[in-house]
Each structure stands twice: as C-alpha cells, then as structure tokens.
Amino acid sequence: MATGEGTAAEPISRRTFLKGSAALTGLGVAAQVAARTTSALGAPVAVPAAARTVEGGLAAFAGKWTGAGPVIALTRFARFLTNRVFNCRVAGQPRSYVLNLGVAGATLTPGVDPYAHADLVLEERDWLGVLFGDYTGLAPVLAGRSFPSRDSANSTVLLGIVMFIFAHVPAGAHPDPELLVRIIAGAVGQGGIPHCTGEPAELQVLDDLLADPRGQAREAVTPDARAVDVTRVLAEWMAGLRYQDIPPGAIANAKDQLVSILGATYAGSVMTPGRKLAAAVRGWDEGGPCTVIGKARYRTTARNAAMVNSFLAQILEWEDWTFLAHSGASIIPVALAVGEQARVSGRQLLTAIVGANEILARAGEVLTDAVNTGNALAVHQIETTLIAGKLFGLRADQLQDALGIACAQPQLTSINAWTAEAKGMLTAWPAATGVTAALLARAGITGSRTALENPLGYSYRVADIATPRELERMVRDLGHVWRFDAARHELFTKRYPTDGFQLTSVDAVVRLRRGPLAGIRREQLPGLIARIEMRIPLVMASSATMFSGGLGGTRALLERVADPRHPDWTYIALLFDGTWPVAAALADGELTYRQYREDRLRDPVIRALTDRVEEIPDLTMGVFAATARVELRDGRSFEQHVPCIGSFPVREKLDVGASEVESPARIEQILAAVSALESFDDVRDFTAILNPGGAGSNGSRTSLAALPTTNAGGSGAGPMAAAGAASAVVLGHQWRVRRRGRPANREPDAHPPLPPS
C-alpha cells in the first residue's frame, strides 16, 4: 500500500528553516512538520492500545515523513536515513514491510527487499512502543531485544528514534486539543522556536553549502581521494601553542572548567563507586607525586591519578561539554596529574587546557555520528594524549608518535554499561591511555604518524565519516577561530547532575518548587499534585526512556536500581532517565549528588512523584528548551518555560560538590588559587591546596599563605596580595559561567543556590 501522498510543499527559505527547526543530536525536524502533517493527515487522534497495529504505525510514520523529508535531507545525519530502503520486520513472524524514505516522500509495501540498506527487526511490542511514542528506539537495543549489524547500526537505531519522535508530532503521542493549543500559543508567545547561542547547527548540509558552494559542488562532481594531514597538523599546533597566543575569554573558560570539574570530582569521591575505585587504586601501592582529589586524598602516579580523578568526575554525569563532545572529565584530570609530575607552571596548565578544548570541539564535530554521540562519542584518546604530551614537553614529532600509540587500539563505549559503576571508565580509560602514550613517546616508542586520517586508522574505526573532506573540520581555523572562547558560548557547564539536554527541564521544576510551590511541605506534594507535564526537546527524547522503556517501566527501573541483587544497575541509570531527576528536583528544590544517594532511591515522596511525570517530546522546544507544568488536584496549575541552558555562579558547583569534604574556608582558598593560577610557578603548589596534608613544591605543607610570590605581571607582589585579590573576586560574585542563552537576553540566575545540607 502506498502512503506517500500528501499536499504539495511550498518553498521554504533558509531563514524559515533555521527559525523553525529543532534537533535530535543534530537531526532537524522543522516546526512546519506539524502544520504539514495536520494538513495531510487531519487532526491528531489518540490511538487506543487495543487498536494499535504495526501496519498502522508504519503507515502513519510514512505519511509524516512526507512533510519532514525535505528538512531531514539537510541535517547532519541525513545520509543515514534519506534515500534509504529499510526492511521493517516483526521478530518471530513472517510480517515484513519495505520502507523507502525519499527526500520528498515515503512508500510502504509488504515484503522483503533483498537490496535494502538495512533490516530493522523488533518484537511486536517494541514496534508498537516505538511507533506510538511509548519509548525511544534505543530502548529495545539496550534491552538486548534488537541486534542491528555494525554496518547498519547508525541507520536502524536512528530510524527507531525518529519513529518514536514522529509519534509525538504535532502534539504528543496521546494528544488532546488543549495541549495542541497550549503548544501553539507557547510557540507564538516565545517568538518561535528558541535558538540558543552555542547550540549545534540543525541544518548542517545547508550551512555547509552556503558557506562554501564551490567546495561542496567540487566534492559532488570530482570527489577527492586524499585527506588533510590531521595527525601532523594537530601535533604541530599543540606543540607550538603559547599562553600569550590565547584570548582572555578562553583563559577565563579554562578556569571555569577547572572549578566545575573540581566540584564534580569532589562529589564523585563521596559516592559509592568513587569510594570503591579510589580504594582499589590506593591498594595497588604505586606511589608518586600526583594527587587523587576528594574524600580519599592520596598521591600516586600520573597515570593512576588521571584515571581515578576522571572516574570521579564522570560518575555523576556532572561534567561539562565543549560544543558536541564531553570535555571536562577527561581534560582536567589529565592536565592536573601530568602538570604535577612535570612540575609545570599555572600558565602552562591553562595553555594545555585551552588547546585540548580547541581540538576536542573540532574532533567531536567530525567523529559524531548517529550512535556515537554525546557521551558515547569516541574521541578522548586524541585530546588526552595531546594534553599529556604537551605538558611533558614533547616535540611535535613526538606528539604524532603519542597519538599513534594511543590510537593503535581505539576505545568505543558500550552504552549498556552506563547502568553500572564502570560507567566512570568512559573517560578514565582514555585518561590513563593518553598519559601512558605520552610517556612511551617520550621514551622513544614510535606510533603511526597518520593515525587520525588514514582510512584504516582511528577516526574511521570509531565513526562513520562520509568523505575525507570531512576530516578538514578537525583542523579548520586552529589558532584563528577560538572555539573555546567564552564569547562563542561553546562550553556548556552543567548546573545539575543529569543528561545535558535535561538541564532546562530540571531548572524549570526547581524554579516552580522555589517559587509558587515553595509553601507546600515536602510530604504533602504527592497528595496535592495530580500531574507533572514536561515538554522536552526532541534530543532528550532519544535518551529519556532508553533504560526504563517508557512510563510503564519507570517503577521497574527504580526497583531494579534499588535492588542489591542487580549490582550492575545503579543510580547511574537514573542520571539519564526522564522522570527521576525531575521528580527529585521537585521534591527537594534542588538536584545534586544527594538525590542519587542510596537512601534516596527508596524515598517515598520522590517515587510517588515519578508516577505523576508525563514527558512530551515537543519540537517547539528547539534544541535545549523545556516547559514544566505542575497541575494540582484543586484545579490550579503552574507553568515555567526555560528557553536555554542558563548561566549560574560556577562556584556553586564547588560549594555543593565539596561540601562533605572541604570546609567553606578551604573552598574559598581553592577558588582564590584558581583565580590566581597564572601566578603559580609550580602546579604542585596549587594541588597542595587540594590536599592539605600533601607537600608543595618545596616539600612542605601548603596553605593559602603559601601561594607563589611571583604573579602574572612579574611585579613580585606578595602571596597574600594575590590571594586577597582573588578572594575579592570570589566574594564579589565574579565567578559566573559566562555563557548560555541569547546574547541580548541571556537566561539569568533565576534562583539562589540552596545551602549544603
């Protein structure tokens, strides 16, 4: 049966595309899809569970593709879906349908196409769950009920995610007229779909064409069979980078990132996985000059310290990201550990941090594909190796060798491992690998000096790269365009430990709890709240149900996480869940590491509130926005919209994260030291402040009074003068994350931090 018929589409300008598109990790679904789908298919109709069929769901999806196809063809991941043929097969049954997704429409016919690009095989319940919007297409794969081949994984997983999202177009999987009216009214009231500074481009294909029409045309007609020397260029640039070359905004971002990751590391050190790993590595009895930060606090080798601190910074999903790639949990631990061993200066440390972020922003853009995206992006063997090598003083040719050594065995993540304590190894392994590779290169071991660009090398092993021309992005404008500069807003610092695309959802709920709901006692909330409606960005929809399998599976997920008989299911699974962070934030008026502690996993108030949460993927939310609506049983309702990831005092993260380890006075000392980091001649004097019982560069215990006697200007000002100036900056509330939101209308700090409890 053919289902590709629809109304003719009018021409759409680039401006309309850019204003009207939302993204699923770069996948644009235009706002006009809603209007076109409604015109073609009529008003949305809720389909009772008993009336659902695989055939009906596939037919509805094919019809909606007619409106979305032209837009999707211009997005980052278009090549995985557009102009592709899929065999959609029901597991254990002979039912199979050929889905042909063209640019301007789709067809659906019974049978099997032996020449299809990929087969998507799901159990009937999973077809119904995905097609009718109960849970993301990732859920059956992570549950071990769907097994895409490696070659087709990007296409089949992405198709499942898009099917789930399309079920919510235009107004939710179970739409009602009131919801549709509110969505439309909200979009009009907020001036269209939000666009936030620093967010990834939705329509990359169109942007590339407009930026370089001749180059794109030449690639289409006369494709190149050569690639830029990425390994050499990155090594040479990193080796030659100097502090004086870096704009002040990038240095400021490096300090913000350092404070942010210290907060995440301290918090991770009091969580059960962090305590276990720190104790295990301490038991190896490998001494050294490098500090393990946090509750355990001891010294070990650079490789061990980088690994442990990276693990601690990773296990709460509280680390920041630079453009598309998570960055802080890999860069900061390696920089501090190697900086201590090599006894570099504060300026050298900041230079290496900036350089690594510049490289990561570019490499992450190239290596992101449909499956390897976000924290699943395989990239950290690049920046960890370069930052370690630079701080060890390697030459450019040695840095090339180090990259070849590190990338000889590519490391990809297993997303199903993200439920267990081992999720911390996501960055901890690359951190240890980068340090090891730099040490081996320093000792004269050679590695492939074309490791990154060779078609059988690292980049092509960890990502699906369309053409060698794409690799040029990894070195584009290095040293000319500073991607890590605060003015570009490409460093995203997390205020809350949760999925990055859920930050606005949590923020909206916290604002409601501290605002109109502040007068309600915690234990009264379940009895007074009838419903918590969360309209979330489409990108969040791809992960919000990947471990729970939808609303019906939320309670089962909570039981599994709290059950000691399932040690591989921990609080870490809840970091990505769409309901627990929202419910916990509403219950407590905050979301910190405390809401993931073992004693909270059975908290009756939070558990009751999870049953009230209903998440609606909403294309009018754009990439980052979210709207929370709390409906009370007495008929009142309260709504909060947050368009972009807002700015906040980054010191808040250190105040909260270190609250069980450091005193308020010690936290002030750490902040003052970071502010005066350029004045340190030896980074060991800085890390000694993180480890009061440890030794500084002169072998003695170091306190705030022992800040170095030289400063950035070389005037010889005393240590207390530098510390006093830094403390004045801190107390004057100048430690703010300088990013997020629209430049002319940035989201303010909407609520003060709660004091540590």
For the sheet containing 613-617, what is the strand order? 613-617, 529-536, 626-632, 637-642
pLDDT in tens, 526-580: 999 999 999 998 888 888 999 998 767 888 999 999 999 999 999 999 999 999 9
What pLDDT sits at residue 219?
74
pLDDT in tens, 326-365: 999 999 999 999 999 999 999 999 999 999 999 999 999 9
CB atoms within 10 A of CB 568: 13
What pLDDT sits at residue 170?
59
Q: Please state which architecture CATH assigns to domain 14-175.
A: 2-Layer Sandwich (3.30)
Helices of type H across 409-453: 425-442
What pLDDT sits at residue 738?
37
Q: For residue 575, what are its two tokens?
A: 């970091």
With beta carbons less than 8 A apart as the criterion, state whether 70 and 111 touch: no
Q: For residue 269, what are its two tokens?
A: 């050190």
Q: For residue 442, what are its two tokens?
A: 């320093």
Distance from C-alpha of 269 to C-alpha of 660, rounded to nearest angstrom: 10
Q: Parse the chain into domains and list their residue ranges.
A: 14-175, 230-483, 500-642, 663-731
What pLDDT sits at residue 691?
83
First-residue to last-residue Cα distance in the chain: 62
Average of per-residue pLDDT across 88-101: 97
Exposure string over 350-365, b if 16+ CB within 10 A, otherwise e: bbbbbbbbbbbbbbbb
What lies within 8 Å, CB to CB, of 308 at 6+ separation is 277, 278, 281, 292, 300, 333, 428
Q: Which value, to the nearest 10 degrees, does the dihedral of the CA atoms of residues 544, 549, 550, 555 take? A: -100
pLDDT in tens, 466-514: 899 999 999 999 999 999 999 999 999 999 999 999 999 999 999 999 9
Q: How many CA atoms lie within 13 A of 432 on its CB side?
A: 15
Question: Phi/psi zone of residue 253: left (φ > 0), alpha (ψ -120 to 50 degrees), beta?
Answer: alpha
Spell out the long-range contacts of 595-598 with Cβ–Cβ below 8 A and sequence spacing 24 or more: 596/271, 596/316, 596/497, 596/571, 597/271, 597/571, 598/272, 598/562, 598/571
Distance from C-alpha of 235 to C-alpha of 398, rounded to nearest angstrom: 8
Average of per-residue pLDDT across 287-300: 97
Q: For residue 339, what are its two tokens?
A: 């900086």
Choice among 145-154, 409-418, 596-605 with the minimum mean pLDDT: 145-154
The whole-chain average pLDDT of the chain stands at: 85
Provide CATH code, domain 500-642.
3.30.1330.120
Q: Which of 217-221, 675-679, 717-721 has the highest mean pLDDT?
A: 675-679
What pLDDT sits at residue 210?
67
- SS percent in the chain: helix, strand, coil, step 5: 50, 10, 40
Report the CATH fold assignment for 230-483.
2-methylcitrate dehydratase PrpD (1.10.4100)
Q: For residue 125, what are its two tokens?
A: 């319940």
Distance from C-alpha of 536 to C-alpha of 183, rounded to nearest angstrom: 12
What Å distances lie between residue 99 and 77, 92, 119, 138, CA to CA? 18, 19, 10, 19
Predicted confidence (pLDDT) at residue 739 exceeds the cutoff of 90? no
Q: Is 123 exposed, middle or buried (0-12, 13-18, 19+ CB in 10 A)?
A: middle
Predicted confidence (pLDDT) at residue 418 exceeds the cutoff of 60? yes
pLDDT band for 185, please (50, 70, 90 cuts). Answer: low
SS3 354: helix
pLDDT in tens, 133-182: 999 999 999 999 999 998 899 899 999 988 988 887 755 555 555 655 66
Share of the chain above pLDDT 90, in %: 68
Nearest to 85 by CA among 124, 111, 52, 55: 111
pLDDT in tens, 3-61: 333 333 333 333 333 333 333 333 333 334 444 444 443 444 556 777 899 999 999 99
What pLDDT sits at residue 221?
74
626 beta partners: 642
pLDDT band for 618, please (50, 70, 90 cuts). Answer: confident
What pLDDT sits at residue 342?
99
What pLDDT sits at residue 151?
86
Give one DSSP letter per residue of 8-32, joined into a string: PPPP--HHHHHHSEEEETTEEEETH
Distance from C-alpha of 332 to C-alpha of 50, rounded to nearest angstrom: 53
